[in-house]
Structure 1
Amino acid sequence: MSLQAIAFTFAMIPAMLQFHLSYAYCKETIDFPLNGHIQGTAPVLAKQPNYIVVGETHGTMEIPLLVAVLVRSASSDSKTVLCLEIPKTEEQRLKTSLKSDGGKEAVSAVLSSSHWSSKDGRAGKGHFSLLELCRRLIQEGHDLNVAAIDIDPSEIPDPSKEGFTPSKALDFARKRDKVMAENVVAVANESPGANIVVLVGNVHASLKKGMPWDDEYEPMSKHLKQMLPDVISLNTLTSGGEAWVSTDRGVGPTNMSGEDRGETPFLELFDRPTNGYSGILYVGKITAATPARH
């Protein structure tokens, strides 16, 4: 073996160890919390089909795992599609992974894409765990599929490039939510009668027009409400903890405040939409989801 090959092998050891840790985590420690049940879901799922949007704080372990529980219940006796805030360009890779044995090669194939190189919470172990649990459900016979609904990242305006303006950023944000809504509707049309569960950031999940930074901004769920019947949009409520987020101090675990409503997660619908949501998915304490790919 040449000196260059030896040097390369030693240089790869940290990455190989990190990958092994990620793989071991995915295969050995992921499981459905709460014995597969969330209080309050039965009355919601009794109506078929369902269009349920869950708005999350990206970068937690607990929220994606609760969504896995929701998807498990929804797909136990009905076709269900889980729509994720992942670029649509990743969809074929996701579908291949869902049909795999979940082994090292399959995990490596998923994590090798540019999406999982991001430090964004959507590329964390929480979301990867959700995909692994979906793969297991499919193996167990659940009629379940996963769709990627986000816009192509190449379209994101780059502030460092000539010609960038704040108005272009606003235009992109508006376009992005509309495209995501259209992608969800396309999924619903391709799977008539299926339950559609959508996991996105809580801003995209709002049913209300306007945000502090843009009065004309229409979130994805508001668009959806105009395209699909009886859309239920849930904001996640936590008792606090940490999430993996990007702040002006850097990227990493960040303290998050919340409202303590006990240790048991539950789903609660309001009498009428409140603050842009149909109800809440109470999560309890949250912990930060480190990147799935190190």
Structure 2
Amino acid sequence: MAARPAEPELVAPRFEHIFMMPVERALAEATKLLVQHGWVLHEMEDPNYLLTEWKSDRIGASSWGWQSDGEHIRYLVIGEPLAERQSVVRIFRMKRVAFANDAELRYDGQSGEMMWKHMETAQLEQSLRRRGAPVDLAMRERDTAPWVELDGAVKGTRDLKLERDLTLRLESKPSLETLTGSLRLTRDEAFFRDPSFYLKRHRQEVQEPCEQKVAGFQPLLRHGLTVLIGEQLGTREAPAAVGNMLCEAAGAGLGVTLGLSISRKEQERIDRYVASAGGPPDQDALLHGDFWRKIQQDGRGSRAVMDLIDRARALRAAGHAVAVVAIDTDLSHGSTRDARMAETVKAARAARPQDVFLVLAGNAHTRLVAEAAWSDDFIPMSRHLAEKDPGLVVLELGYAQGRRWGCDLAPNGELECNVMGLTPGPLVASPPDGPPRVRMLPELHDEGFHGVLEVGTLSASLPAIALRGHEEASPAKETPGAPAPGSAPKVDGTAAPGASAPAPAPKVNGAATPGPAPKVDGAAAPGKD
């Protein structure tokens, strides 16, 4: 198994990182983080501040179980709301050195033996209190002695490690995939789409949309190759890179089948679209399916995925042997769902045994590890496929900090779908710039993948059904705020990763609607990185 990479050296940020969430939610997670590290918090009048009790970092000897001399540490957390769904959180480590004179507290009798007996009695009393007293009265060996003066000026520095831990907790959580069964749909045909909405590839005279090669993919190409790509849902970059791989394989004269995590109910519409001219009426017909029209869009039905299907259509129109297969289901959950996804892939593979088979899905389905945050006995799709195909290649998405479109549960239990921040762990952290490339590992990683598909900084791809917000993102500008599927959007823009100034607040949309609780399943799990 490949070893885990070393933790990167942390440096002070040039710009503040903006969380795409209300400040109270970010501070709630910061509170959990501090408590898990053993800190006790003060009650503060201002809810945007968190302050812990002092804790000693031992230098001198303890006195009767108390800590007197040395450095004393506490944490100050400052939350700054920038907009309804934008906030900044800064964590400061406060330090003060104290040297106590506790001689007046010791037994002042004439006998040294009596003094030591007094000290032993005091230590025994403190030990008993720690074991049996209520929590608010309990004492710890490293508690600061009550006679130590800690008022006055203190020195504070940003705690970069704790800030990174908080960022990973907030932006590396498992995605939720919403299944169509019980979800409310948008209007099916009543709204008008401006001509600027539609993909323009059908206008090209020579339909060869090979934008760039993916370095490192060529050595893998062979008849019958199956590659699983574990993505972070709702980005532009993952489907774009897979489209380049699709084009490269087709250009090498190989038949290619593209498997997408779309409900099998959409297969007929996909087949008609891939065989069509790809004009506006054809695009409308593709998006008429329930998968695209559900309000709680989880990223699998993004504009980038629609564009990927259109690239497959254009390649087929140019004479290449290309097919698109919807591999997902809306009828099952957990391991049963993944088993059915695997059966669909196997059936498509049997029908086209010599094809290069590219499958794009959330990485919980593609990693060769039988575990998931939501289930102790989860068996992913990849495990079923590897039993029949020992040459299966699993690629994990490598990326730099950015944005995606996805769904998460709000504190009140409702499902929220919107633009979210995404931060990679050291396992998949990749350079922010440069063309996409495949970086194979010397051996199977213990997280269950053979290599990394590096795509750089991520940007959000909105639901394909959205009427606006699909403009190309420049390197210095992040994707605009999210419009509500099926309606005219209200977009002001969102902050770019690392932005130093607050951007206007995007309108929150895509939230859960009244009615039956939606069916959700776990998907990409960047928190495991």
Q: Deviations over 1:67-114 (max 9, x none)?
A: 000011112211111111111111111010001111111011001111
C-alpha contact (below 8 Å) 1:241/1:257 kept by paired residues:
yes
Cα offset for 1:23?
Answer: 1.1
Q: 2:443 corresponds to which residue?
A: 272
Structure 2 partner of 1:105? 281
- Report the identity percentage: 26
- 1:54 pairs, out of 229, 234, 244, with 229
Give yes or no for the alignment of 1:71 onto 2:246: yes
Q: Determine if contact 2:226/2:392 at 8 Å carries over to the other structure.
A: yes
| Structure 2 residue aligned with 1:38 | 214
Secondary structure in structure 2 of the residue aligned to 1:272: coil
> Secondary structure of 2:354's partner?
coil
Instruction: State the 1:244 CA deviation.
Output: 0.2
In the TM superposition, 1:274-293 aligns within 5 A as 274=445, 275-293=447-465
TM-score (norm 1): 0.83
The alpha-carbon deviation at position 220 of structure 1 amounts to 0.6
Which letter maps to 2:317? Answer: Q
Name the SS of the counterpart of 2:309 in structure 1: helix
Mind listing any 5+ residue stretches in structure 2 that lack a counterpart?
1-186, 411-415, 467-529
Is 2:433 the partner of 1:263?
yes
Q: Which moved more, 1:181-190 or 1:250-259?
A: 250-259
CA distance in 1, matches of 2:228, 2:192: 37
User: Structure 1 127/40 Cα, relative in aligned 2: closer, same or farther at 3 Å?
Assistant: same
Shift of 1:260: 3.7
**5+ residue gaps in structure 1?**
1-10, 157-171
How far off is 1:269 after superposition? 1.4
Query: Normalising by the residue count of structure 2, what TM-score does the alignment of the two structures yield?
Result: 0.47
Displacement of 1:229 after TM fit? Answer: 3.0
- Give per-residue Cα distances to partners, 1:147-172, cap 9 Å, x unaligned: 11112x2x25xxxxxxxxxxxxxxx3
Asked which structure has the greater RCO (Cα within 8 Å, sep 6+), the reply is 1
Q: How far 1:246 sits from its partner (Å)? A: 0.9
Q: Which SS does the other structure have where 2:364 is aligned?
A: coil
Aligned counterparts of 1:48 and 1:107: Cα–Cα separation in 2? 32
Letter in 1 for 2:198: Y
Q: CA deviation at 1:14?
A: 9.3
The answer (yes or no) to whether the contact 1:32–1:65 under 8 Å persists in 2 is no
Q: Which residues of 2 match residues 74-223 of structure 1 at below 5 A?
A: 74-76=249-251, 77-118=253-294, 119-151=297-329, 153=330, 155-156=331-332, 172-223=333-384
Q: CA 1:25/1:14 → structure 2, altered by over 3 Å: closer, same or farther? A: farther
Deviation at 1:222, TM superposition (A): 1.1
Residue number in structure 2 paired with 1:3: none
Larger radius of gyration: 2
The alpha carbon displacement at 1:58 in A equals 0.9
SS of the residue aligned with 2:463? Answer: coil
Q: How many angstroms apart in 1 are the aligned matches of 2:440 and 2:305?
A: 25
Amino acid at match of 1:60: T
SS in 1 for 2:451: strand
| Residue 197 of structure 2: aligned partner | 22
* Residues in 1 aligned to 2:202 and 2:458: alpha-carbon distance in whole angstroms: 22
CA–CA separation in structure 1 for the residues paired with 2:288 and 2:459: 25
AA matched with 2:364 = V
The answer to whether the Cα contact below 8 Å between 1:22 and 1:292 also exists between their aligned partners in 2 is: no
Structure having the higher helix fraction is 1
C-alpha distance in 1 between matches for 2:188 and 2:443: 55
Equivalenced residue count is 264
Counterpart CA distance in 2 for 1:84 and 1:261 is 26
